[in-house]
Structure 1
Amino acid sequence: MDVAVAVNAHIPPDYLLRICERLGPLLDKEIPQSVLGVQTLLGVGRQSLLRAAKDFRHTLWKGSAFAALHRGRPPELPVNYGKPPNVVNIISARQLTGCGRFSHLFPTSTYQHMKMHKRILGHLSSVYCIAFDRSGRRIFTGSDDCLVKIWATDDGRLLSTLRGHSAEISDMAVNYENTLLAAGSCDKVVRVWCLRTCAPVAVLQGHSASITSIQFSPARKGTTRYLTSTGADGTICFWQWHANTMKFKDRPVKFAERSRPGVQISCSSFSSGGMFIATGSTDHVIRIYYLGSESPEKMAELESHTDKVVAVQFCNNGD
């Protein structure tokens, strides 16, 4: 053994790795790997360095081939193109990396078979907000008849009607534990219900005008959670609640952002981790708040718009 080491002393420790790095690009040109851009020495199947053409069940199509098949039409994938990953894989990838490709979850062939699942006449007035629960088994609708209704996704039957508001429902949100439903209304009140019993949990009164948006924070600090609400009074309220007891504090942490009379905060969006929330308002300003300290605090004011900010959204990976 010592003789072999002495004879090959001129060979560096990473010699085999460097050989693979040179062979890898040559192999990729002949037989592309299943995940483009990912090179590994430990892969198997279509990701292995020993892969052969027979390992591929489907032909790799390129944009030029699609254009040749569909002259006069935009390029699109054939119906039998590959087999997309299942929903579990896509959702898991999005939780780990913050992003996922919608085309993987729903191939183009899906849209050819879409049809109306159910049509329900369930409210006495206009329905302006709607939300799914975290499992996708229930649908929540908020209407101008002051009611919030819960429907079953599978057959459309009415599960429950939540009452209490005295004006139009303006926005709804479901917490990330899928235990609470919050609804904001033009009556200046945010009401919270338990999704297991449909019993009222809290009535939150911190605004002096209509509620424009409500959001549950994805962030988790022990058992401390936050529900945020923005209003036409130019304020944002951070309602703290306990994850186990589901009890809300009576007084919120409030920021009044009325730089001039009549300013409204119209929209809000949490970052993917829940540490930041951005709001847009009619005074053209985007404001960023931070929830990572002992109490929520304002981090920045972005004044690049020249008109009302009516929608704001963090990207999935938080960039």
Structure 2
Amino acid sequence: MAVANTTKTSWKLQEMVAHSSNVSSLALGKTSGRLLATGGEDCRVNIWAVSKPNCVMSLTGHTTPVECIQFSSSEEQVVAGSQSGSLRVWDLEAAKILRTLMGHKANVCSLDFHPFGEYLASGSMDTNIKLWDVRRKGCVFRYKGHTQAVRCLAFSPDGKWLASASDDSTVKLWDLTAGKMITEFKEHTAAVNIVQFHPNEYLLASGSADRTMKLWDLEKFKMIGSSEGETGAVRCISFSPDGSCLYSGSEDTLRVYGWEPDRCFDVVHVGWGRVTDLAICNNQLIGVSHSQTNVSLYVVDLNRVKKSGSVIQGLIQDNKPLAVPTPKGSTLRRNYERPTTSCTGQRMKRSSESERRSPEGERRSPSSEDEREDKESSAEITNPDEYKEIFQPRNAISRTPPKRTEPFPAPLEDESFPVKSVPAVEIVTPVPDRAGQLKAAPIASSTPVLRVEPTVVAAAPRPVPVTTPSLAPAPAPRPVVVTAKPRPQPAIIHSTRNEPIGLNVGDFLPPARNKASVVGDEEALVQIRKGHDTMCVMLTSRHKNLDTVRAVWASGDIKTSLESAVSINDLSIVVDILNIVNLKPSLWKLDLCTCILPQIEELLQSKYESYVQTGCTSLKLILKRFWPLISDTLTSPPSVGVDITREERHQKCKACYKQLKNLSNLVKNKAEQVGRHGSTFKELQLLMAPLDY
């Protein structure tokens, strides 16, 4: 097999339009690293083969946006949770809906399949964790203990434990057999986004919005390691297959960590933005991220990544990294004992024991409503050839999707840049309008027809004769009425394209007065630079204002610093300060609440996503830290005598309550929105529910 370009450590594999509306969730198949599931605000789940341009299957049935997705370990099933709290499980090989599970009262935020039995766990914004029996459509057990949304769930390799991560900054470990919590880890200072068990040893890793990744010993139940230096929230983590190191994905960066002692082996700038999921295949790490309707996949060549302090980066023997010396003492840690057989009776015995010990079992029989939900769900095969290659069993023994042994090749330096396509879920074909231009019209076909998007749009394009060769590149003419079928182009966007994705030079050029005129480079640069001076003035003003606030901040008076930021009457300054304070909840005092709550109201109504996100984070912290104090102070009987401190606290709590009451109406209205912000505001609505009593 020829070796591809090995000069690259990381590259963009592809970018595609995955849904007709914003993408809301992603999941890679961890076993093969070759399958991708995407969920969107269009309520669909689409299945893709990694590096292939077209959707393989499109799954329907949900009536609200899909919030999270997960493959089973065999990649034969996929489960998706929605904003309404429902779960749907599809059998990919049979191309049909398998189960519809109802029971959560709010958004489903996390999912995981049990490694052996026909069970899955779900975590929700309603703070509950549920264990489901997929075969019987029943909830086996409900685990309660978190106080905020459950963002991630992970079963241990032996199937006996369940780890959960939550916005309440805790990681909890549950015993599935006993039906109770084993321990709780509280060392994180912000929401925990991800947890994962070590593939062999009794170790658990967690990543958080506090920009740290922590490791926990599951025998002594204590923290044994913590990373520092992440530039942003840790969104996804993955142990290497042999368990020798841990990969951590954050904003645009992949880090490789070791433990005992803590050390960072390597840092790779990937440029994947807010990476959502990781998978490892053929000594390559696949990372996936999304923005609006687009999904991007990136590859990191692990052969070129340093994975220990004693192995030289890039030193490979027989296409395999050299052996890494095992840290002293690590072999003493206990390993998981996996079942030697997949006997169904054994799994059922464990399940029955759990149900017998559980006082809160929620087993129920399938109802007519479930049957109706299943009938309304469907699995449409949009690419039969790719579906047959992936999901059709090669023999009667193995039903696991086939593993492709070849790694993903790095792009060549001179590789061309194909265009994007319309996804198979939104099938269109070009038809001429009255002006002779092509426009999209729906057709009844399961075969996607591609929409070609020009990479550069000139102000006044003119047709170029086909018979006349030209040495200089000419702007592409507008399409005219044609009878030939458009030739499909792969929806893969390689990283070697010189132009930034989503920007067309023509958007920045003035309309030409004469159709025959061509805009020169100098004139184009003048037009592009028109807003440069204005932007410089804005940034200079912002820098000056931040210097003013920083001078007050140096005195150590946080409240005065925040008041000075508010007095400047620039929301961007308030956002900058809040982003710092939100990372350190200990800085929050009751005085800050009375000062900042009116500003939070403005932030929640802002048109800028980052402002809304910062406002929501601040409001969550206020409700979490101060609502019990506010409630107790306002409901406690009046004291005898004069207590000035208590009177001041009572006045502050009264002011905060009034401001929170006003905010609750705004949050309630925003919670009815569809999309990412709607989910956040629904969570805030649950936290603010006590205000109505």
Q: TM-score range by the shorter chain?
A: 0.5 to 0.7
Q: What is the CA distance between 1:190 and its match in structure 2?
A: 0.6
Q: Which residue of 2 aligns with 1:301?
A: 226
Q: 1:257 to 1:118 in 2, by over 3 A?
A: same
Q: Whole-Å Cα distance in 2 between the matches of residues 286 and 134 of structure 1?
A: 25
Letter in 1 for 2:114: N
Q: How does 1:278-293 map to 2 (within 5 A)?
A: 278-291=205-218, 293=219
Q: 1:250 to 1:306 in 2, by over 3 A?
A: same
Q: Which residue of 1 aligns with 2:109?
A: 170
Q: Whole-Å Cα distance in 1 between the matches of residues 207 and 50 of structure 2?
A: 34
Question: Which SS does the other structure have where 2:185 is aligned?
Answer: strand
Q: What is the CA distance between 1:271 and its match in structure 2?
A: 1.8
Q: Which residue of 2 aligns with 1:253?
A: 183
Q: Whole-Å Cα distance in 2 between the matches of residues 113 and 256 of structure 1?
A: 42
Equivalent residues of 1:149, 1:158 under 8 A apart: yes
Q: Whole-Å Cα distance in 1 between the matches of residues 129 and 68 of structure 2?
A: 15
1:268 is matched with which residue: 162, 170, 195? 195
Q: Which residue of 2 aligns with 1:128?
A: 67
Question: Which SS does the other structure have where 1:313 is aligned?
Answer: strand
Q: Which residue of 2 aligns with 1:82?
A: none
Q: Which residue of 2 aligns with 1:118?
A: 57
Letter in 2 for 1:307: G
Q: 1:315 to 1:201 in 2, by over 3 A?
A: same
Question: Which SS does the other structure have where 1:280 is aligned?
Answer: strand
User: In the TM superposition, what whole-angstrom CA distance separates every residue of 1:113-149 from its partner, at most 9, and x where no partner exists?
Assistant: 8754332321011113222223333221111121011
Q: What is the CA distance between 1:207 and its match in structure 2?
A: 0.4
User: In the TM superposition, what whole-angstrom CA distance separates every residue of 1:207-253 from its partner, at most 9, and x where no partner exists?
Assistant: 000011110011x3xxx8110001000001000123xxxxx423341
Q: Whole-Å Cα distance in 2 between the matches of residues 101 and 163 of structure 1?
A: 30
Question: Which SS does the other structure have where 1:206 is aligned?
Answer: coil
Question: Which SS does the other structure have where 1:118 is aligned?
Answer: strand
Letter in 2 for 1:194: D
Equivalent residues of 1:272, 1:314 under 8 A apart: yes
Question: Which SS does the other structure have where 2:180 is aligned?
Answer: coil
Give the structure, 1 or 2, with the largest relative contact order (CA under 8 Å, sep 6 or more).
2
Letter in 2 for 1:160: R
1:230 is matched with which residue: 165, 168, 185? 165
Q: Whole-Å Cα distance in 1 between the matches of residues 193 and 50 of structure 2?
A: 33
Q: Which has the higher helix share?
A: 2
Q: What is the CA distance between 1:178 and its match in structure 2?
A: 3.1
Identity fraction in percent: 23
Q: Whole-Å Cα distance in 1 between the matches of residues 2 and 236 of structure 2?
A: 38
Letter in 2 for 1:282: A
Letter in 2 for 1:138: Q
User: In the TM superposition, what whole-angstrom CA distance separates every residue of 1:153-200 from its partner, at most 9, and x where no partner exists?
Assistant: 134322211111011111100111133200011111111011332321
Q: What is the CA distance between 1:101 and its match in structure 2?
A: 9.6
TM-score by length of 2: 0.28
Q: Which residue of 2 aligns with 1:190?
A: 129
Q: 1:115 to 1:204 in 2, by over 3 A?
A: same
| Unpaired runs of at least 5, structure 2 | 6-29, 35-48, 245-693
User: In the TM superposition, what whole-angstrom CA distance separates every residue of 1:13-69 from its partner, at most 9, and x where no partner exists?
Assistant: xxxxxxxxxxxxxxxxxxxxxxxxxxxxxxxxxxxxxxxxxxxxxxx64669xxxxx
Q: 1:61 to 1:186 in 2, by over 3 A?
A: closer
Q: Which residue of 1 aligns with 2:150?
A: 211
Q: Whole-Å Cα distance in 2 between the matches of residues 167 and 190 of structure 1?
A: 12
Question: Which SS does the other structure have where 1:312 is aligned?
Answer: strand
Q: Whole-Å Cα distance in 1 between the matches of residues 55 and 99 of structure 2?
A: 23
Question: Which SS does the other structure have where 1:234 is aligned?
Answer: coil
Q: Which residue of 2 aligns with 1:73?
A: none
TM-score by length of 1: 0.58
Q: Whole-Å Cα distance in 2 between the matches of residues 153 and 303 of structure 1?
A: 41
Q: Whole-Å Cα distance in 2 between the matches of residues 162 and 272 of structure 1?
A: 29
Q: Which residue of 2 aligns with 1:89?
A: none
User: In the TM superposition, what whole-angstrom CA distance separates every residue of 1:264-302 from its partner, at most 9, and x where no partner exists?
Assistant: 1111222221521111112222110122x2x53322222
Q: Whole-Å Cα distance in 2 between the matches of residues 115 and 127 of structure 1?
A: 20
Q: Whole-Å Cα distance in 1 between the matches of residues 50 and 166 of structure 2?
A: 38
Q: Which residue of 2 aligns with 1:83?
A: none
| Unpaired runs of at least 5, structure 1 | 1-59, 65-93, 103-109, 243-247
Letter in 2 for 1:277: L
Q: 1:113 to 1:316 in 2, by over 3 A?
A: closer
Letter in 1 for 2:124: S
Superposition RMSD in Å: 2.8
Q: Whole-Å Cα distance in 1 between the matches of residues 58 and 181 of structure 2?
A: 41
